[in-house]
Structure 1
Amino acid sequence: MNFVRSKPIKTTVLAAATTLLSMSAQAQDEPRQVLFTNVNIFNGVDDGLIENASVLVEGNLIKTVSTDPISAEGAYTVDGEGRTLMPGLIDMHSHLCFRNGMLEFRDGYDQMAAGAYTAFAMNDYLDQGFTTVRDAGCNILGVAKAVNNAIIPGPRIFPSGGFLSQTGGHADTGSFNDRIGDQDKLEQGRVGFIVDGVPEVIKAARHNLRAGATQIKIMAGGGVASEFDPLHMTQFSVDEMEAIVGVAEDYGTYVHAHAYHDKSVNRAIDAGVRVIEHNFLVSEETVIRMKEEGVALSVQAVMSLQAFGDPESITFFSADQKAKATQVNKGAEQMMKWAVKHDLLMVTGGDMFGPDLFRQADNILWFNDKIANNPALALKTATGNAAEVLSWSGGMNPYKEGTLGTIVEGGYADIILVDGNPLEDLTSIKRDTVDFVMKDGDVYKNWLPNEAAPAFQPAGPERDAYFGNN
């Protein structure tokens, strides 16, 4: 029985459970092998496909990539039937524990509900073919630990931990009449740290890294989805930023910064920040500086070009937030075109939650359609380029056995099969044509026909028992 495409979340959960059952029958003293045949490979680095190729996975790593037949007696064989095999996608700006922004969970739910929603969101990322995320701020450190320890299913998580924000900064979600020292529910839940002065920022950065953060996220300027910080505002002093960067460097990792305009971005670069999130209102001169100094850009095309192009559709935004969104929309397209022109190291991340969670690939599509007109470049922002930035976490990177974001020997077996050639039709990376998802050597989605991957095909009675016969 094939999966029903109209029920993607259910498919993901069942495929994971079925994989565990099917794999348990193999001898435990031998590494599990999976052989992919009859595939064309986008490897995350090159601009073209490797045609008529095969890939052998052993355990959780890629053992062989070849255009010659691979001999692997006893391996589970997956016939790609001409599909494109590519690295699992990487979202470089996720917020796994938010739905409709931070304020909804602050006012209407608790941390238990946030955790339940996070589990739901992680399954959906896997179903879409996103096997890794860099979480750009929330209390996700325990969840990341649980995923790494195989307690709960989910994509690999590079967590930033709680945002670091000054009083009145982009992560200050308190009330306007708070007294000094008051903490709102989100700060109490370690979604963010409201810190002022060098000693406080050092303690907060160390606290995040102590608990498993792989990098540190700071709020360096004004934002849209916040109450107290106008877009023109610059946040954190140079001394505060340098102190945070110093802590990160002591741990062998880096800092990424929320920033929109020239002053905030250049102050962050002066302090040693290595990745700028958003960047929508900067000048071309700042883009050139980023290129010269090796600062990476994390872009959110759907949020800035589509959602902020119609801010009235964002029902949970105030009138002031909608006005700020309109301003950002006017600058985003030009900034991204400069970034392509000057060949910045670019990664993509959705910054999407709530109703937009279910279409993360649209961020890559909008970047290509409106800005890059280069499917290979667009794909690299969520594969090879993303992996390069993730590697900057150094010793804080929990995934040290293999490489990410590329199909290479010795890389992690984070693999998706898409029905089509994404270099000719990038829409083939959308959920409905992502037919197979493997993360760390385990299968989380299988829409291939029985004859293509019989070892991974769930039996009909189990599926009907789990979901009901509908």
Structure 2
Amino acid sequence: MKRFFASATAIALAAGIGTIASAQDDAPRQVVFTNVNIFDGTSEALIENGSVLVEGNLIKQVSADAIEAPDAFAVDGEGRTLMPGLIDMHSHLCIRNGMLEFRDNYDQMANGAYTAIAMQDYLDQGFTTVRDAGCNILGIAKAVNNGIVPGPRIYPSGAFLSQTGGHADTGSFNDVPGDQDDLEAHMFGFIADGVPEVMRAARHNLRAGATQIKVMAGGGVASEFDPLHTTQYSLEELKAIVGVAEDYGTYVLVHAYHDRSVNRAIDAGARVIDHNFLVSEETIIRMKEEGVALSIQAVMSLEAFGDPESITFFSADQKAKAAQVNSGAQQMMEWAVKHDLIMVTGGDMFGPDLVRQAENIIWFNDEVAKNPHLSLKTATSNAAEVLTWSGGMNPYKEGTLGTIAEGGYADIILIDGNPLEDIHVLKRSNVDFVMKDGQVYKNWLPDENAPAFQPAGPRRDAYFGNL
């Protein structure tokens, strides 16, 4: 077999160079991973000392035995855990320190530059797919899909849909009806009131490539005009948005915290609730009965909102709302585990917390689930299942995500440790290898044949292109 080594092609990667074909012919390149313990995204035990064969951008074979592939590049995992690339189901790639920073202090060019850095950081942490839960990300998602810039797979929601005074109303106190905030002008969020307006906003997002629609259905913490107790959008407006999504073959996820807002959204047909921190057990039972998924933000609700004073860009009112959310989050998640909801995890973490997305999975496990297998599924196979709900709007139809299985996309990470025994090994420092779509974005594996190609620096986090 050909010996694997990391080719130092960060510049080529940034230029969007695709997979290198075989020198002999145009057959897809093959890569075989050997000496790996495989977490396939669903099973409760690892496949020990297994092998995985990648051909082009897809997984061709998964085996508990050696795979004969004489022309493949060989990657010796040296006993590491091979598992699916992680999936974050609540990212905001274009938000840094709060919703208003790129309105008041910078411009959208700076926002785009920051987003490119954020995407590389997600890859370095082992997150090969994200569902962006709202902001002006549609052009970035298109650029990633077309190979213009490197980044994780993006399932973009596009602009938030918010009523006047809703959670994505980023205007100023002195606005009058008809005024348009700069962020709205750049499609950060659409302020839409009434059935015709919300339908037009939803259609505009889908027209530009949104894979699902994100609606602000209740009050929030990191915003000025919407107290937590509010319920946002009428049932008629919500049904209209859901109807547009269903006409496109996709679904609606909502930002909501309490019983009234969550149940109204479910009445309208929403399929995913993000946050959900202040609901009753009765609402959790209803979600289970109707197959509504829960997107969990454990770090923000249990850690950050446990100490709101540490969030330097929050006002006094926002800190008080954060403390209220923290008061209900633990109990809500325990009910969700008890009633076996469809659960996914998404950090909602940006700014100084961008660098620790895996801790959202870890906090959920340590504080609530205490079940690494369940917790891992929230960021692999469970997340992939919910992503399929985007139906015909799904841009990734060639393979499957979230599992290590024949016909799946070659989104693969190698972890130094066993996450089914110690979920803390998901942290960035233990993620030694990241492949997305058959391309290598990070390689910390030792290779005595090519020491000059090891990334430099104490973190060794350079991004690498083709094998």
Common fold by TM > 0.5: yes
Q: Which runs of 4+ in 1 moved over 2 A?
A: 11-28, 457-463
Tell me the equivalent position of 1:240: 237
Matched, 1:202 2:196: no
Deviations 1:301-332, CA, capped at 9 Å, x for gaps: 00000000000000000000000000000100
Aligned to 1:231: 228
SS in 2 for 1:35: strand
Does residue 1:278 correspond to 2:272, yes or no?
Answer: no
Measure the CA separation in 2 of the matches of 1:15 and 1:303. 37
Structure 1 counterpart of 2:254, from 246, 249, 257: 257
Q: Provide structure 2 residue ranges, at least 5 long, that are not aligned to the other structure.
A: 463-467
- Equivalent residue for 2:44, pick from 19, 44, 47: 47
**Is the Cα–Cα contact under 8 Å of residues 14 and 150 in structure 2 kept in the other structure?**
no
| Alignment of structure 1 residues 34-113 onto 2, 5 Å | 34-113=31-110
Q: How many residues align?
A: 454
Q: Does 1:137 align with 2:131?
A: no
CA distance in 2 between counterparts of 1:458 and 1:377 reads 40
Deviation at 1:104, TM superposition (A): 1.2
- Aligned residue number for residue 453 of structure 2: 459
CA contact (8 A) 2:22 2:28 kept: no
Who is 2:465 aligned against?
none
Matching of residue 189 in structure 1 with residue 186 in structure 2 = yes
Q: Is the partner of 2:100 in helix, strand or coil?
A: helix
Residue identity opposite 2:117 in structure 1:
F
- How far 1:53 sits from its partner (Å)? 0.6
Within 5 Å, give how 1:284-323 maps onto structure 2: 284-323=281-320
Q: Distance in 2 between matches of 1:422 and 1:76?
A: 26
Give the corresponding residue for 1:399: 396
> What is the alpha-carbon distance in structure 2 between the residues aligned to residue 207 and residue 308 of structure 1?
34
Residue 27 of structure 1, CA deviation:
4.0
Preserved contact between residue 444 and residue 455 of structure 2 (Cα < 8 Å): no
Determine the C-alpha separation between the residues in 1 that align with 2:426 and 2:291.
29
Q: Please give the alpha-carbon distance, in whole angstroms, between the structure 1 residues aligned to 2:308 and 2:11.
A: 37
Q: Partner of 1:173 in structure 2?
A: 170
Instruction: Verify: 1:388 aligned to 2:385, yes or no.
Output: yes
Partners of 2:31 and 2:361 in 1: how far apart? 29
Contact 1:38 1:79 in 2 (8 A): yes
Q: How many angstroms apart in 1 are the aligned matches of 2:413 and 2:455?
A: 26
TM-score of the two chains, using structure 2 as the length reference: 0.94
Indicate conservation of the 8 Å contact 1:16/1:442, yes or no: no
Q: Tell me whether 1:158 sits opposite 2:155 in the alignment.
A: yes
Question: Does residue 341 of structure 2 align to residue 350 of structure 1?
Answer: no
- Matched with 1:368 is 365
Going from structure 1 to structure 2, the CA distance change for 1:18 and 1:443 (only over 3 Å counts) comes to farther
Q: Which residue matches 1:8?
A: none
Cα shift readout 1:352-396 (whole Å, capped 9, x = no counterpart): 110000000000000000000000111100000000000000000
Once the two structures are TM-superposed, the CA of residue 12 in structure 1 deviates from its matched residue by 10
Contact 2:444 2:454 in 1 (8 A): no
CA RMSD of aligned residues (A): 2.2
Q: How far apart, CA to CA, are the structure 1 residues paired with 2:255 and 2:163?
A: 12
Distance 1:15 1:56, change over 3 A: farther
Cα deviation code 1:333-362 (max 9, x no counterpart): 000000000000000000011000000000
Which residue among 265, 268, 292 is the counterpart of 1:268? 265
Query: Are the aligned partners of 2:220 and 2:226 in contact in 1 as well (CA < 8 Å)?
Result: yes
Change in Cα spacing, 1:48 to 1:460, as seen in structure 2 (3 Å) is closer
What's 2:332 paired with? 335
1:148 partnered with 2:142 = no
Question: Following TM superposition, by how much is the alpha carbon of 1:73 offset from its aligned partner in structure 2, in angstroms?
Answer: 1.3
1:418 paired residue number: 415
- Which SS does the other structure have where 1:399 is aligned? coil
Superimposed CA distance per residue, residues 114-161 of structure 1 (whole angstroms, 9 cap, x where no aligned partner): 000000000000000000000000000000000000011000000000
- Counterparts of 1:176 and 1:12, CA distance in 2: 49
User: 2:415–2:432: 8 Å Cα contact kept in structure 1?
Assistant: yes
Identity of aligned residues (%): 78
Give yes or no for the alignment of 1:125 onto 2:122. yes
TM-score by length of 1: 0.93
Q: Are 1:174 and 1:183, in contact at CA under 8 Å, matched by a contact in 2?
A: yes
Q: What 5-or-longer segments of structure 1 have no aligned partner?
A: 4-10
In 1: Cα distance, 2:310 partner to 2:232 partner: 29
Query: Structure 1 residues 419 and 144 mapped into 2: Cα distance closer, same or farther (>3 Å)?
Result: same
Q: CA deviation at 1:462?
A: 9.8
2:434 equivalent to 1:437: yes
The letter of the residue matching 1:388 is: E
Assess, with a 3 A threshold, how the Cα gap between structure 1 residues 87 and 94 changes in structure 2: closer, same or farther: same
Change (3 A) 1:181 1:458: farther
